[in-house]
Structure 1
Amino acid sequence: MKALRFYVGLWLGKLAAAVINLIDKNRGTNTPGVVAMKICPNFLSMLKDIDYQKMVFITGTNGKSTSNNMFIHALKTAGKSVTTNLSGANLITGVATAMLHSASLTGHVNTEFFVFETDERFLPKIYKHLPAKNICITNIQKDQVQRNGEPDYIYKIIRDVLNKDVTVFVNDDEPRCKSLGAYAGRVVRYGVAKNDRSFTKDGFYDVGMPCPHCGHALRFHSYNIDNVGSYTCPSCGFSGGADADCRIDSVNYQAGTFTCGDRTYVARYTEPYFLYGYALCLALCNELNVPLDQVAASFKTFKNIGGRLENLSYKGKTIKYIRIKQENPETLQSAFDFVARDPEPKLLMLGLEQLEDFQPYYTNTFYAFDCDVDALIHANLERVICFSEAVAYDTANRLIYGGMDQERISVLPTDSDDALLDELDKFDCENVYLITWLHKYEELERDIPQR
């Protein structure tokens, strides 16, 4: 009976994928897996010919999609076959959909590598069915507090999956992440050396971090991105940022190059947060014997997921979109830093939105207060347009508390694209940045051509 349920789930899942593909080739990243697992809850466990030594899970708060897609691009450049959820459907049904696409009608999956971006909270469920031998953790930081509470909740979920049969790849520069190495059979550490864009913090709104071993306050010597860098615990000596097995060094932002070991790599993206994706990719390729010549070639041709950094043209203005994850101070800080590094006069449209995933809808903007806005405010910023039906005034207040002149702030308590673009029309500045969630960018991308 179990075998019958498996084959029915497999065939109907494939049929669902084929039907959806006829309707819209860009959809169907989750539903076929829902169908298969509804019919056969153990569908993933019953697939055949899977080499778990070549199965990789990539999880963590930030950077998992980029790291996942970067590694897959390296594998494909090297001529390897890969089963993956490249579309970013990172729940168990998204993984099941990816496996459905690769499986034969008899349930055999013959690709060489299996690489999956996995949602942190769903990692135990996915691992139960697919016991991957390689688990990568990018970082563990504040994110979706209405779901996750605080980072230690996610820390415990990941910790309980790790065991002596797993090789864990940990970010040596992120304290919680590094400490998880103690729970795996083998640990590979990766990181990024101090470079020209590393920084220190000593501001009123700066947020500290407790040592994951003893609970005392960590001391960060420098940061590469917020809460990721070189650190030491003065109490127990726990430290990171110096002894990674795979460390990126000699970063040249102008030339777009960095070194790792005795090799220099050319990369299309050299923002600090991308460097950690390259470091993890190199660590994985070293461990899984992917030729580094092919990896180097893949870095030159890798194209990041659409919607992370995009440009829109509007009435002679260039709108540079930077995607953020809502309620995530690290990605918001990285976006602020990106804007601040542009020395030219500029205008910023900043839309922090209400989260409507489940009721009561979430409108807390604490994550903006975790960010340092000083560099942003003093970076030739002519005006900020704060827009959002729910939290536009909260966003403006954060900038005012940071020292920005209220006269340089427009507040639009609306999500109307027309209202936002009408306000933009009032100003001559052609260098425009947009920081908001992906849904708003997609709305503007659709509506701007109609203006």
Structure 2
Amino acid sequence: MSFKANVAKVAGKSSYWFLHNVLKGGTSFPGKFAMKIDPNVLSTLAKGYETIIVTGTNGKTMTTALIVEALKKKYGDILTNPSGSNMQQGIVTAFLAHKNKKVKRKIAVLEVDEANVKMVTELLHPSVFVLTNIFRDQMDRYGEIYTTYDKIVSGIKLAPNATIIANGDASIFSSVELPNNKVFYGFKLADDKEDVDLKAPVNTDGVLCPKCDHILHFHERIYANLGDFFCPNCGYHRPELKYQVNRIIDQTPNSLAFQMGQKDYSINIGGTYNIYNALAAYSVAREFGLSEDEVAQSFAENKRIFGRQEIIKYKGKEIDLILVKNPVGLDEVLHMLNTEKDNYSLVTLLNANHADGIDTSWIWDADYEGLDKSKIKKVIVGGHRWHDMGFRLEVSGFDPGLMTTVTNDNELIDELDKLPTKKVYILSTYTAMLALRKSMAEHKIIKAGM
């Protein structure tokens, strides 16, 4: 270890200790501080680790958490970035924060922002890339989905010996020839479906054939552009799946039961999109030698993570805090809410900071019209762009008489106590979620930190 790298490591660890133990925070600053001293400190910190990079538009944080819980069953302590701080400085902080323990195999499982894959790969030399999906998201940062995938591919090309474990139901992930070993996962819910010929709804992302630009068709479509795709023009089709979901047994907003192979699995979180996250984690775990029983046990024990269907108890209310950030993800959350059997109150928080994406037009692409409004007894609208959100809900058919506007988190916390239902769903963009959690910590509703 060079002198500069050693100074950077010590300084970063010291700043992390102070921020974490005194100020109860610090997910990126220690990494920034260490990188100021040595821009390549990550290369030193990651030496000796077998690194798994998880990237894609939606599902990175949940997939990472599920992989970590599964691999712990066999290999003990796993290094990760559980806060979702997924840019280079956050990843450096994860290494600075990790307490090295004696383990059978030094493994790091890291959520990585799509635009940061290349710079992280240059320093980490990962052994596995896990690709979840690509949808329109923060177009001011990423552009179209093809631009986003190009950013990821530029990183993968730096690690030709790494294994790619990718969502085979996403046509984009098998569109580029790469020398890497590839493992694909996906859904196969129906047999004898070769004669089925479906098209995705109008305005669906990524339904042009990556080979010839013809519109893709589907033998089976799960949601958005994901499913058993094929091109009737050039013959491009879904690759062979090594791991697959065979059956969805039951879904509620807080639980999922499904079959992979010959075994049933369950996780304590809702939404079809989270079955994909579980399938990705299952695929990694199986590639790393875990048995089906070990994976099933880890899923059953999975803990909720901050902001991703995080359950918060407050004055008799059961508050479900859910991050939303793009139209496909929001659509799937709305579909999940339609599986709710009880009456509930809905809170929507819309910000447009850099970390959220400054363009809020994506809320018009989500199907609020299809939301079952009969069970929603009260609506609260907030965030910096509350007026845009309120107007969107009115256009979709919500009764303005049921809607209350709040201009800050203290007002929101006061209103939560007055809501007429026990169940409350808060759909929030990223910076609004962080601000709300900070305010809730100040009110002693939740603990500070992540």
Indicate the TM-score class for this superposition, using the shorter chain for normalisation. 0.7 to 0.9
TM-score by length of 1: 0.82
Secondary structure, in 3 states, of the residue corresponding to 1:169? Answer: strand
Q: Which amino acid aligns with 1:435?
A: L
Moved more, 262-271 or 111-120: 262-271
Distance, in Å, in 1 between the alignment partners of 2:315 and 2:389 is 27
Q: How does 1:251-270 map to 2 (within 5 A)?
A: 251-253=248-250, 256-270=256-270
Q: How does 1:41-120 map to 2 (within 5 A)?
A: 41-47=39-45, 50-51=48-49, 54-102=50-98, 112-120=106-114
Matched, 1:125 2:119: yes
Q: Specify every segment of 5 or more residues in structure 1 that has no aligned partner in the other structure, as ranges.
A: none
Deviation string 1:243-302 (CA, Å, 9 cap, x unpaired) is 311112222116953322233334333531221122111211222223433222211111
Q: Which amino acid aligns with 1:10?
A: K
Distance, in Å, in 1 between the alignment partners of 2:200 and 2:21 is 56
Seen in structure 2, the aligned counterparts of structure 1 residues 217 and 448 have a Cα distance that, compared at 3 Å, is farther
Q: Which amino acid aligns with 1:410?
A: M
Contact 1:60–1:138 under 8 Å retained in 2: yes
Q: CA deviation at 1:190?
A: 1.0
Deviation string 1:106-132 (CA, Å, 9 cap, x unpaired) is xx9995212211111111111111111
Contact 1:321–1:441 under 8 Å retained in 2: no
Q: 2:242 aligns with which of 226, 241, 245?
A: 245
Q: How does 1:3-402 map to 2 (within 5 A)?
A: 3-24=2-23, 26-47=24-45, 50-51=48-49, 54-102=50-98, 112-163=106-157, 164-180=160-176, 182-194=177-189, 209-240=207-238, 243-253=240-250, 256-312=256-312, 318=317, 320-326=319-325, 328-355=326-353, 357=355, 362=358, 364-392=359-387, 394-402=388-396
Secondary structure, in 3 states, of the residue corresponding to 1:253? Answer: strand
Q: Which amino acid aligns with 2:155?
A: V
Secondary structure, in 3 states, of the residue corresponding to 1:185? Answer: coil
Distance, in Å, in 2 between the alignment partners of 1:370 and 1:152 is 19
Secondary structure, in 3 states, of the residue corresponding to 1:156? Answer: helix
Seen in structure 2, the aligned counterparts of structure 1 residues 353 and 78 have a Cα distance that, compared at 3 Å, is same
Distance, in Å, in 2 between the alignment partners of 1:97 and 1:310 is 23
Distance, in Å, in 2 between the alignment partners of 1:28 and 1:86 is 13
Q: Which amino acid aligns with 2:405?
A: L
Aligned-pair identity in percent equals: 25
Moved more, 114-123 or 41-50: 41-50
Seen in structure 2, the aligned counterparts of structure 1 residues 222 and 447 have a Cα distance that, compared at 3 Å, is farther
Distance, in Å, in 2 between the alignment partners of 1:6 and 1:134 is 26
Distance, in Å, in 1 between the alignment partners of 2:83 and 2:227 is 30
Distance, in Å, in 2 between the alignment partners of 1:126 and 1:421 is 43
Contact 1:168–1:184 under 8 Å retained in 2: no
Q: Which amino acid aligns with 1:434?
A: I
Which residue matches 2:195? Answer: none
Secondary structure, in 3 states, of the residue corresponding to 1:342? Answer: coil
Distance, in Å, in 1 between the alignment partners of 2:277 and 2:146 is 23
Distance, in Å, in 2 between the alignment partners of 1:386 and 1:48 is 43
Contact 1:48–1:109 under 8 Å retained in 2: no
Q: Specify every segment of 5 or more residues in structure 2 that has no aligned partner in the other structure, as ranges.
A: 191-197, 446-450
Seen in structure 2, the aligned counterparts of structure 1 residues 419 and 184 have a Cα distance that, compared at 3 Å, is same
Which residue matches 1:436? Answer: 428
Seen in structure 2, the aligned counterparts of structure 1 residues 410 and 205 have a Cα distance that, compared at 3 Å, is farther
Seen in structure 2, the aligned counterparts of structure 1 residues 184 and 120 have a Cα distance that, compared at 3 Å, is farther
Distance, in Å, in 1 between the alignment partners of 2:336 and 2:126 is 36
Seen in structure 2, the aligned counterparts of structure 1 residues 204 and 90 have a Cα distance that, compared at 3 Å, is closer
Seen in structure 2, the aligned counterparts of structure 1 residues 28 and 416 have a Cα distance that, compared at 3 Å, is closer
Superposed CA RMSD = 3.4
Q: Which amino acid aligns with 1:149?
A: G
Distance, in Å, in 2 between the alignment partners of 1:270 and 1:411 is 27
Seen in structure 2, the aligned counterparts of structure 1 residues 389 and 249 have a Cα distance that, compared at 3 Å, is same
